[in-house]
Chain A
Amino acid sequence: MKKIEINPMTRLEGHGKITIFLDENGNVDNAFLQTVEFMGYEKFLVGMPIEEVPRTVSTICGVCRGVHFTASMKASDGVFGVEPTPTAKKLRDIYFNSHMVEDHTAILYALGFPDFVCGPTAPPAERNLIGLILKVGADVGKLVLKKRAGAVKIFEMLGGRPIHPVAAVPGGWSKAITEEQRKEILAIADDLIELGKLTLDVFDKVVLQNKEYVDLVMSDAYKVVVNYLGGVDENGKITYYDPKEQVFVDTKGNEIARFKGKEYLEHIAERTLPWSYLKAPYIKKFGWKGLVDGEGTSLYSVGPLARFNVGNGFPTPLAQEAYEKMLNTFGGKPVHNILAYHWARAIELLSAAENIKALASDESITDKNVRQELTTVVGEGVGIVEVPRGTLIHHYKTDDKAIVQEANLIVATTHNKGAINVAIRKAAQYFIKGGKVDEGILNMVEMAYRPYDLCFACATHTLPGRMPIELNIYSHDGELIKSLRNYEIS
């Protein structure tokens, strides 16, 4: 049996490895995504005052800084048994939506769109953001980055810093905003809405108007039939910062469960996988059915496509319009075509921008009452947010002085673990035939996990600063016969 490995090469990037096993005919027998555990933050947090936790967990990942900050901040409310004041809630919501805009923009333009704009089998040296800029024009690239900077500005204005936000306090927000700041946010929101519209337009022109790409999106190579988990508001609409409930739907789109707070423990179980440090979550009541998709599977996905499948639309008009277009294109839900994650992500970018505008249009957000008084320590809190990559759960237990005794963090990449394995295996089986593997095929396989935007607790900034991937092909008797890598420093 041949073995193909897609390996990371360096330490921080060394958090994921893809191994593909070929049979004697050179076709794919199986494929596995292996990951290491969640960087030990759960232990690091033990002994820390809960008020310090948001500032600390914001360092888990430079990209995802705002989301861990927010989930832990919500959990800290629970630890003190308080609800944030209405104004604090709105400020947190604006802050969180600005993170959504920034994150979705970066992922779409840097990692998602190049596959389509430059071509999925284009040489890697062309299939990147530079290649994308060359195709769509420097003016568009410049516009995207300038507008995206507006989201960072809101993030910094409210969070206190562009990188490590500091504004979280249990039951509130550290400072109120002025009327001038409200107006500034409102003006930026218009820019961000334009960014959202532009992004959907790029997706439309590049993907939807190209039959080859539409075929690829619809292809069985990129179809993973699983259940879905997402958060919704009181009207069943897609929401991010403070879902009323999390909802599971099955492979047919039927609701199978809903939960809030620590009830997640009743619905989500985790399976230890002998070949990976990361457990695979599954829907508890279905029981473990293995790393398989199709009707009856207990695997589930989270993230933009999952939210699309779970929610009954968006609360804002432009995003709702885009949602209906996507719904009509696929002829209903659930959509199991994973390349559609990119489409759903682009809609969410617009939705988050509209959310900012709606929230900042409320003049009452300049109210000075942004903190609740803390009187008791309840000792347990769960914060659940719908982050760019999917459902994020932070769960803490503390002593009577609010010092963390236990921490449990379930991140989106963990929820998606099973589905990603299925996705990689299916793409590999579809594209690798007779042992033939080249860089183009490697990318077609990579395209199967890119929609999920893997985040292996990604402090991946030590030079060279990205997740290099190496593909090793072994002969039947274990000899390395070919090695491909997507990164080289020389």
Chain B
Amino acid sequence: MKAILIAIGNPNFKDDGVGLKIAEFFDGNIDKVTLLNIGFNLIDSLLRYDKALIVDGVKTGNKPGSIIEFDANFWGNVYASGTHNLSIFEIIRIGYSLFPEEMPKEIKIIGVEVEDVETLSRQCSPSVESAIPEVVRRIKEYLGIN
């Protein structure tokens, strides 16, 4: 089974970089892509893989450092009329609409609740940093990496 890890984040905005920091634990272990934002480039990255795991910071109102898992069917009530880009669920849905044979059969999204994504810093908040080992463990388990 061909799997990919996709980390999304801005390394310069504190907790926004949490996905990228998590991805650093997988250097050489698995196909890996880091993205600064969500756009059609997410579809480019997903095509021709059987399984994908996306890791990103999230803001859902939970305690900072909380780990929230979604699957790609978590569309919510998502639609496009934003000003500059699209939502992750919408992009994945577009991928499945256009390339049903080439998209992964399974996509899991793991989010880490952020605390501060406004401050220009390359360090995460302690609460967010502390979630990283558990996320790494879950990713390894999901992707079958020792």
Q: Which residues of A are interface residues toward B (Cβ below 8 A)?
A: 10-12, 16, 39-41, 43-44, 56, 59, 61-63, 65, 106-107, 110-111, 114, 124-130, 133, 138, 141-142, 145, 148-149, 152, 162-164, 443, 446, 449-450, 453-456, 458-469, 486-490
Q: Knowing A41-B120, A462-B56 are in contact, say whether A489-B114 is a contact too (CB < 8 A).
A: no
Contact assessment for A463 and B56 in the assembled complex, using a CB-CB cutoff below 8 Å: yes
B58 to chain A: closest CB distance in Å? 4
Contact with A along B20-60 (1 / 0, CB 8 A): 00000000000000111111110110000000000011111
Main secondary structure of the interface of A (DSSP, over half): loop
Q: Which 4 A-B pairs have the closest CB atoms?
A: A62-B37, A62-B36, A128-B80, A461-B37
B135 CB within 8 Å of chain A = no
Instruction: Name B75's closest neighbour in chain A (CB-CB).
Output: A489
Q: Is the CB of B11 within 8 A of A111?
A: no
Q: Are B85 and A486 in contact (CB under 8 A)?
A: no
Which of chain B's residues has its CB closest to A155's CB?
Answer: B41
Does the CB pair B40–A11 fall under 8 Å?
A: no
| Chain B residues packing against A (C-beta within 8 Å) | 8-13, 16, 34-41, 43-44, 56-60, 70, 76-90, 93-94, 97-99, 109, 111, 114, 117-118, 120
Q: Are B35 and A461 in contact (CB under 8 A)?
A: yes
CB nearest neighbor in B for A13: B82
Q: Which of A456, A460, A464 contacts B37 (CB 8 A)?
A: A460
B59 surroundings in chain A (CB, below 8 A): 10-11, 462-463
Q: In the complex, A12→B15 CA distance in Å?
A: 12
B46 to chain A, nearest CB (A): 12
Q: How far is the CB of A437 from chain B (nearest CB, A)?
A: 15
Q: Which of B16, B56, B81, B90 contacts A486 (CB 8 A)?
A: B81
Q: Which residues of B contact A126 (CB under 8 A)?
A: 79
Contact in complex: A461, B56 (CB < 8 Å): yes
Q: Which of B10, B83, B94 contacts A450 (CB 8 A)?
A: B83
CB–CB A490/B76 < 8 A: yes
Distance of A338 from chain B, by nearest CB (Å): 14
B-side contacts of A11, CB under 8 Å:
59, 114, 117-118
Query: Are B99 and A463 touching (Cβ within 8 A)?
Result: no
Taking a contact as CB atoms closer than 8 A, the residue among A65, A125, A141 that contacts B97 in the complex is A141
Contact B37 A458 (CB under 8 A): yes
B124, chain A: closest CB distance, angstroms: 13
Known: A111-B80, A461-B36, A461-B56. A130 touches B97 (CB 8 A): yes
Shortest beta-carbon distance, A60 to chain B, in Å? 9
Most buried by B among A152, A450, A459: A459
Q: Is the CB of A467 within 8 A of B120?
A: no
- Which residue of chain A is the closest to B114 with respect to CB atoms? A462
Contacts of B89 in A (CB 8 A): 464
Give Cα A247–Cα B41 distance, bound, in whole angstroms.
Answer: 34
CA distance A129 to B82 in the complex (A): 12
CB-CB under 8 A from A458, the residues of chain B are: 37, 84-85
Contact of A453 (CB < 8 Å), options: B58, B81, B84 = B84
Smallest beta-carbon distance A357→chain B, Å? 22
**Assembled-state Cα–Cα distance A448/B87 (Å):** 21
A23 to chain B: closest CB distance in Å?
A: 27
Q: Is A464 touching B88 in the complex (CB atoms < 8 A)? A: yes
Q: Once the chains are docked, how many angstroms separate the CA of A127 from the CA of B117?
A: 30
Residues of A within 8 A of B9 (CB): 461-462
**Looking at the complex, which one of B43, B58, B77 makes contact with A463 (CB distance below 8 Å)?**
B58
Given A44-B12, A128-B80, is A459 in contact with B37 using a C-beta cutoff of 8 Å? yes
Rounded to whole angstroms, the CA-CA distance of A334 and B78 in the bound complex is: 38
| Cβ contact within 8 Å between B90 and A40 | no
Q: Is the CB of B98 within 8 A of A141?
A: yes
A453→B80 contact, CB < 8 A: no
Is the pair A464, B78 in contact by a Cβ cutoff of 8 Å?
yes
Contact partner of B8 among A44, A152, A461, CB < 8 A? A461
- A44 contacts which chain B residues (CB < 8 A)? 12, 120
Identify A164's interface contact among B36, B39, B57, CB under 8 A. Answer: B36
Once the chains bind, are B90 and A129 in contact (CB under 8 Å)? yes
In the complex, chain A residues whose CB is within 8 Å of the CB of B58: 462-463
Identify the closest chain B residue to A133 (Cβ).
B97
Inter-chain contacts of B37 with A (CB < 8 A) = 61-63, 458-461, 465
* Contact across chains for A128 and B76 when beta carbons are under 8 A apart: no
What residue in chain A is nearest B54 (Cβ atoms)? Answer: A463
Contact pick for B16, options A10, A128, A462, A466, CB 8 Å? A462
Measured CA separation A314–B119 after assembly (Å): 42
Of all chain B residues, the one with the shortest Cβ separation from A149 is B44
Q: Which A residues touch B79, using CB under 8 A? A: 124-128, 130, 486-487
> Is B36 a contact partner of A467 (Cβ separation < 8 A)?
no
A–B pairs, 11, beta carbons within 8 Å: A59-B11, A62-B35, A63-B84, A130-B79, A141-B94, A461-B36, A461-B38, A461-B85, A464-B78, A466-B87, A489-B76
